[in-house]
Amino acid sequence: MKFEKPHLPYSTEALAPVISRSTIEYHYGKHESAYIDNLNHLIDETVYERMSLEDIIRSSEGALFNNASQAWNHIFYFFQLSDKGRRHPSGKLAEQILLQFNSFDELMSRIEDAGMKIFGSGWVWLSADADGTLFITQSSNAHNPLKDGLTPILTIDVWEHAYYLDYQNRRSEYLSKIWDIIDWEIIESRYE
């Protein structure tokens, strides 16, 4: 099976000013395309050719893992964003956030702090275990919580190409503004 880059559910201008058209065209357009192309090349005529992307991530290492995970991570990241989505959690997820973090603001603060503490390139994740307990984790490069047996529900890309065109070296500004375009209806669907 060949993997294809899915079309975004919004226009390239939709997330501005938080994420500009230029960043989407460069980040999702060029970077994601390269990961998908490399992944398809690496799985060609191997046992991985018949696996789901998640199974490739769980079972591979090296270049194959890096390209599979980065392809998945970017789709996961871009498809949680929306110019019209709900900006606060509700339901079971909101209850769990309140139980573990005392407030939504505290959760956001801890995620932003985790993003600032990543040296170099990586991701900040909000994931859940089988019991619904939430975990904020950091990962460098292409690492994904699927490798750790967790279910990712939200991620923030802190590789420089995710924000540099719009924020230069102001990662903290990017981390504080990203909440304006995260659609919590999507995050909740990943949790429940």
Q: In the structure, what pLDDT confidence band is assigned to residue 192 with cuts at 50, 70 and 90?
A: confident
| Dihedral sign from CA coordinates of 169, 108, 181, 54 | positive
Kindly report the number of other CB atoms within 10 A of residue 42's CB atom: 19
Tell me if residue 36 falls in helix, strand or coil.
helix
Query: Which residue's structure tokens are 């990712």?
Result: 152
Reply yes or no on domain 91-191 having CATH 3.55.40.20. yes
Outline which parts of the chain fall under CATH 1.10.287.990. 21-78
Residue 137 to residue 158: CA distance in whole angstroms: 13
Instruction: Please provide the average confidence, as pLDDT, over all residues in the chain.
Output: 96
pLDDT digits (tens, 9 = 90+) for 82-123: 999 999 999 999 999 999 999 999 999 999 999 999 998 999
Residue 112 to residue 94: CA distance in whole angstroms: 18
Outline which parts of the chain fall under CATH 3.55.40.20. 91-191
pLDDT digits (tens, 9 = 90+) for 49-75: 999 999 999 999 999 999 999 999 999
Is the separation of the CB atoms in 160 and 119 below 8 Å?
A: no
Which superfamily does CATH assign the domain made up of 21-78 to? Fe,Mn superoxide dismutase (SOD) domain (1.10.287.990)
HSE-up (13 A, CA, CB side) for residue 67: 17
